[in-house]
Amino acid sequence: MCATVGAFGHSFFVVRIHQYHIGTNQFAANLLMPLRLIQNSMQAIKEENTEITEDDLITKLAEKFDVSKQAMKIHYDAIFKNEQDSP
């Protein structure tokens, strides 16, 4: 690796890597936790427990899809919080 990369070249490289990781993370999340299956699972869980909290719902979804609670929370927020914010 070249030790004399200019500031612009380095920052451009870091931004490109960051964009790549965002894309691969989104792809993996959609592969492991498809929207349609999340929606169907949410509906079933809410029918079983009509007073479930959002935190408990996310925990149950994470268990069902065999992912971490943090991963499910990030994916859940990306899907459903953005829908609520849209006009």
The residue ranges of every structural domain in the chain are: 7-85
- The token duo for 31 is 């592969």
* Residue that wins the pLDDT comparison between 67 and 16: 67
Q: How confident is the model at residue 55 (pLDDT cuts 50, 70, 90)?
A: very high
- Token code pair at residue 10: 């380095």
Q: Are 70 and 61 in contact (CB under 8 A)?
A: no
Look at the pTM and tell me if it is higher than 0.85: no
